[in-house]
Structure 1
Amino acid sequence: MKKKEHGFSGSIGFVLAAAGSAVGVGNIWRFPYLCAKDGGGLFLLVYLVLVLTFGFVLLTTDVAIGRKTKLNALNAYGTLRKKWKFLGYLTFLVPTLIMTYYSVIGGWILKYLSAYVVSSGNEAAQDGYFTSFITAPVAPIVFMLIFLAFTAWVVYCGVEKGIERFSRIIMPGLLLLIIGISIFSLTLSHTDSDGTVRTGLQGLAIYLLPDFHGLTFGRFLNVLLDAMSQLFFSLSVSMGIMITYGSYVKDDVNLSQATNQIELFDTGVAFLSGMMIIPAVFVFLGTEGMASGPSLTFISLPKVFEAMGGLGRIIGIAFFLMLAFAALTSCVSVMETLVANCMEIFHKTRQQMCIMVGIYSLVTAILICLGYNVLYFDLTLPNGTSAQLLDLMDYISNSFLMPFISLLTSILIGWIVGPKWITDEVVKNGESFPRAGLYSFMIRYIVPVIMLVLFLVSTGFMKLNF
């Protein structure tokens, strides 16, 4: 197999870069609101079980395919079986769609960060602030452009000098910010006008302790499906990113140990994000604030920071700086996947492809921004939810393509190529793979069934009426 021109310097570089890809808006924005929606501790318990089973299977598969083939997702599947090369093209579609809107969300984060840097940030807590910003004709494009430019610069610098060096600096700082704000959230307390006192520790109890009261099979299945869909956001699997990063990994790196470290880092950040956000929202907004769903970060949290008084500005700066770091590391991995694939398609240099992908990202991101004003439309998706242009791209990539790709990959590896193809790559240098038996069982019998159910429910072909 030909040696890649670029690669990570070693295991630490790979783990930090891969963890940077995995740790993103999905961990800090999506995980806490899903956890709050699905019963706190119950969602957390289900998610942890899934990470140790499905998460490790999907992550190990992607990384091992990348390292063994030394190819990006576009061509890697074709080396396993020629008739399955189409799966590489399906995988390539996912980052192509995600790149259209990820820098837009990054721009939203920068807007909120700037609101706390240049002023008290209290205006960000006012009703209608978020809506007025995203529907503005120019401001969202300007902030998106700043975020996209930084992303493109990191990718332009390359794997070791760009992505790895950036990850080595950002990831430790990100972790320190999350830990610091998490600890601070537990010290909070607030007294309502009627004398009711709420504390951060009470919010922590809601977050950690599963509530099985009134639990039905239908509710549990919804929690299970929410937790499973979170895995895709959280671990960057089934979108070609981990195959691309795996292709940069040296043969002497212990894959089993590296994937365990990525799992631990990613899950740890998701757990701390919940501990950082849920107790704080509970203290100042009660259980009603915890049920605010996707608006938790951009609408509810600024109200929490405002309620903290003068300290709220400092916490607001720290929080949105941390969120910007997380969004940037993930956006870098998405753009890197596109650049790496396009280098193989067009046989051009990294710098040339980075410029081309950057132009594509800029044009499509502008269209997404305009989707909230001049290009606005209201569409009902097959799963019954209402959507605009950004929601449509997110639905196609995350609810349709990613479960479908995971389903097909599990069939390819589990029943056509054979799990031994993956396990042999993991232990190629004599390393141990304690979960090899679990991997083989899961990839053949469990993953295909659950992925099929998730795909059918997400696309509206199966209704859960219990």
Structure 2
Amino acid sequence: MKKERDNFSSKLGFVLATAGSAVGLGNLWRFPYLAAKYGGGIFLLTYLILAVTFGFTLMITEVALGRRTRLSGTRAFASLDRRFGFVGYLTFIIPLIIFPYYCVIGGWVTKYLTAFVSGNMKAATGATYFTDFISANTSPIFFMLFFLAITCIVIIMGVQKGVEKVSTILMPLLIIMIIFICIFTMLQPGACEGILYYLKPNFADFSASTVLAALGQLFYSMSLAMGIMITYGSYMKKNDDLESSVTQVELFDTAIAFLAGLMIVPAVYVFSGGDQSAMNSGPGLMFITLPSVFQSMKFGSFIGAFFFILVFFAALTSSISLMETLVSMIDDRFHTGRRKTTIGVFLFAIIFGIPSSLGFGAWSHITIMGYSILDFWDFISNSVLMPISALLTCIFVGFIVKPRFIIEEVESSGNFKRKALFTIMIRYIAPICIVLILLCGLGILTI
């Protein structure tokens, strides 16, 4: 007897869970520092245009594939054309690589959360606090395990009682907190100059690099090309309007990214005296620069604690989506059951997460292609495999099953207002953009 597929209880449940997947660390630290690096307002404008065209096309493609086949990535492609079954396994490999090291970073967030909540902000703003912590051998692993355990508990509870319920609680809280911090930072002395830099487009700063950076960010922000949207689409009810649901997720995710920039860019801009290098520090922005910014603020300890609670929620919802995707794919293929599969993925994440953590400590002498262990896995997954997965998906939908396949699924539950845009994007424009992202990621093309 065929097992009935889990599903979200409502359209709102799908939207909040999917938005929870999309809203993660990519929105809260990567988007702000890219916005600062590539001209503030002009990057923001470029990103918004690409989000409603390129991002929408890839997201609705993946969600529709999942809903139409009622399968996760490992089997969805093969069920339509066996020749492309390998694409499904590629969508499995990507979250399999990302999940362990994402939990390591989630552990870092948890550490800072405990530091600020316990009133140890002064220690957390020390010049070597972050590097001392991540280079330790046991403490980062303990916090990784704590973060991973919470994720595991949610997944064992199931789609509706776990993934959906947690998302419907955390996402509204996340919105309230980010709006509160935005208002507070915008009221800081001198913030107007930083706000103007962030919001006002300067077309003299526009370049091909701006476009490619924004395109690359969309993969991070919208959880694309890693099987998550296919899995969540397979849980979506057939009578829920697909286009409006994806549009709401898209708006939700973009709004959070926008507010993250509004929360961070003006504050750091004022703190650094307009020095953009302070914004271009990658993870250091969140774990080194921002704690110093909070220390310089009135009520900074409170705002810092509030901020890291926000980041923890965002990291957790994305971690949940990564683990749920892996559990769904494995259970679809081997019928091992949710509980056993979750425990298996939990153990796998520990085994592969520990080396990523130790890569900054006892194993820091080990490098792969010049990267630390964690950075190597990040490079392989984000710069190589995700663009390849997205490109193959575009080819599959654009020329094998044809755009009509997706259009019919979307129209089965409502109108498809962006049908013409979708067809042009999936067959011609999106593949070209993805190839450029891949070439830049590999260092073959420099713009």
Q: TM-score, normalised by structure 2?
A: 0.97
Structure 1 residues 4 and 258: CA distance shift in structure 2, 3 A: farther
Distance in 1 between the 2:425 and 2:70 partners?
25
Aligned residue among 354, 365, 384 for 1:400: 384
- Counterpart of 1:449 in structure 2 is 432
Matched, 1:305 2:294: yes
Which of 320, 323, 343 pairs up with 2:308? Answer: 320
Identical aligned residues as a percent: 48
The match for 1:420 is: 404
Task: Report matched runs for 1:365-444 at 5 Å.
Answer: 365-377=353-365, 379=367, 381=369, 387-429=371-413, 431-444=414-427
Instruction: Report the residue type matching 1:322 in the other structure.
Output: L
CA contact (8 A) 2:34 2:280 kept: no
Letter in 2 for 1:107: G
Q: In the alignment, which residue of structure 2 is the partner of 1:141?
A: 141
Contact kept, 8 Å, 1:4 with 1:248, in 2: the verdict is: no
- The count of corresponding residues between Structure 1 and Structure 2 is 444
CA distance in 2, matches of 1:346, 1:420: 31
SS at match of 2:203: coil
2:330 to 335, 342, 364: 342
Structure 1 residue 82 displacement after superposition: 1.1
Q: In the alignment, which residue of structure 2 is the partner of 1:212?
A: 203
Structure 1 gap segments, 5+ residues each:
190-198
Q: How far apart are residue 225 of structure 1 and its match?
A: 1.1
Query: Structure 2: how far apart are the matches of 1:297 and 1:404?
Result: 29
CA contact (8 A) 1:107 1:140 kept: yes
Distance 2:346 2:309 in 1: 23
1:44-103 per-position Cα deviation (integer Å, ceiling 9, x unaligned): 011001101000000000000000000000010112211000100111111000012011
Shift of the alpha carbon at 1:120? Answer: 3.9
**1:264-315 deviation line (CA, Å, top 9, x unaligned):** 0000000000000001111222222334344111111011011114x01100
Tell me the residue number matched to 1:233: 220
Q: Which amino acid aligns with 2:349?
A: S
Alpha-carbon displacement from aligned partner over 1:350-396 (angstroms, at most 9, x marks no partner): 00101101010111111111111222246475xxxx52111111111
The structural deviation recorded for 1:461 is 2.4
Residue aligning to 2:151: 151
- Partner of residue 254, structure 1: 241
Report the Cα offset of residue 119 of structure 1. 2.0
Q: Does 1:352 align with 2:336?
A: no
Distance in 2 (alpha carbons) for counterparts of 1:367 and 1:245: 30
Equivalent residue, structure 2, for 1:52: 52
Equivalent residues of 2:359, 2:366 under 8 A apart: no
1:33 and 1:294 in contact (8 A); partners too? no
Letter in 2 for 1:88: G
Counterpart residue identity of residue 149, structure 1: A
Residues 5 and 70 of structure 2 are in contact (CA less than 8 Å); yes or no, is this contact kept in structure 1? no
What's the CA shift string for 1:7-38, capped at 9, x where partnerless? 10010100000000000000001100111111
SS in 1 for 2:274: helix
The alpha-carbon deviation at position 3 of structure 1 amounts to 7.2
Quick check: 2:388–2:438 contact (8 Å CA) kept in 1?
yes
Q: Which is worse superposed, 136-145 or 325-334?
A: 136-145
Q: Give per-residue Cα distances to partners, 1:297-340, cap 9 Å, x unaligned.
A: 1111011011114x011000100000000000000000000101
Task: Judge conservation of contact 1:21–1:332 (CA < 8 Å) in 2.
Answer: yes
Residues 29 and 282, structure 2, Cα contact 8 Å, conserved in 1:
no
Name the residue aligned to 1:283: 270
2-structure distance, mates of 1:356, 1:291: 38
Q: Which amino acid aligns with 1:279?
A: P
Q: How far apart are the structure 1 equivalents of 2:3 and 2:49?
A: 37
Gaps of 5+ in 2: none
**Separation (CA, whole Å) in 1 of partners of 2:68 and 2:11:** 16
Q: Is the 8 A contact 1:65 1:246 kept in 2?
A: yes
| RMSD between aligned residues | 1.3
CA–CA separation in structure 1 for the residues paired with 2:423 and 2:3: 29
Aligned letter for 2:58? L
SS at match of 2:162: helix
CA distance in 2, matches of 1:234, 1:253: 23
1:131 corresponding residue in structure 2: 131
Of the three residues 236, 243, 247, the one matched with 2:230 is 243
What does the per-residue CA deviation read over 1:94-148, in whole Å, with 9 as the maximum and x for residues that have no partner?
A: 1000012011111100111111111240111111111000001111011111100
Q: d(CA) in 1 for partners of 2:4 and 2:365?
A: 45
Equivalent in the alignment of 1:192: none
Contact 2:268 2:290 in 1 (8 A): yes
Q: SS at 1:136's partner residue?
A: coil
Distance of 1:361 and 1:290 partners within structure 2: 31
SS at match of 2:416: coil
Given the superposition, is the C-alpha separation of residues 253 and 188 from structure 1 closer, same or farther in structure 2, using an over 3 Å criterion? same
